[in-house]
Amino acid sequence: MAQKDNNTEQQIKEAARRVFHREGLEGARMQAIADEANINKAMLHYYYRSKERLFQEVFEEDFITQLAPIIQITRDPSIHVEDMIKLFVQRYIDVMAANPQLPLFLMYEIARNPDRLLAITRKYAPLSESDDADHDDMRAMTMIRQIEEGQKEGRYNPVNPEHFSVSLIGMCVYPIIARNTLMQAFRLNEEEYRKFVEERKKEVVDHAFRILMKPEYYEQRMTDK
């Protein structure tokens, strides 16, 4: 058989990405991927002998291009936690809004195989040299350590940093997952929904700051702006 062609391989991966995002690993079928890529199944198997190998490549590519840069924000000791929150919210919402099927795809696969995401995170979004490699990934986030330091210094409320981090993600991702429900409930058209999502960035940051910061520090930070 002829030598493998890079364009065909990329065509297959893009088709597989669409199918995996819709169906997940278990629901996807090689025939459906072949049909999506406009090739026959024999050609698909020539490039990728197993669905699992194809899924692994697509999942890693999604992580490298979409999630790793966002995770790395929370691990960068050169970024102050308040700027970190702003950057995280903006980029997380931008990425998920541009790829609306990605959140549910990731959540399903994380629930089904959490070790896959942890392994890829350690590979493509490694901890800094100052971090203890034995720490749990969430506990090792610079964001969490900076929140704890701010609490000791009296700037931040005694919130649980882990719960704060999970709540921050939830506030960002829910409007993407619940897109159709929100559009119906609030009677939004496409343009109004996009505006809502854009406004959501500021709302999430402000709400996060109100949760995190002591009232007097919050007022000072808002005045400084």
Q: pLDDT value at position 102?
A: 87
Cβ–Cβ under 8 Å, residues 13 and 61: yes
Q: pLDDT value at position 138?
A: 53
What's the CA dihedral at 149, 155, 160, 165 to 10 degrees? -80
Q: Domain ranges in the chain?
A: 1-49, 58-224
pLDDT (tens digit per residue) in 70-100:
888 988 889 999 999 999 999 999 999 999 9
**What CATH superfamily is the domain 1-49?**
Homeodomain-like (1.10.10.60)
Q: Which CATH class is domain 58-224?
A: mainly alpha
pLDDT (tens digit per residue) in 140-195:
568 899 999 999 999 999 999 999 999 999 999 999 999 999 999 999 999 999 99
d(CA 116, CA 60): 10
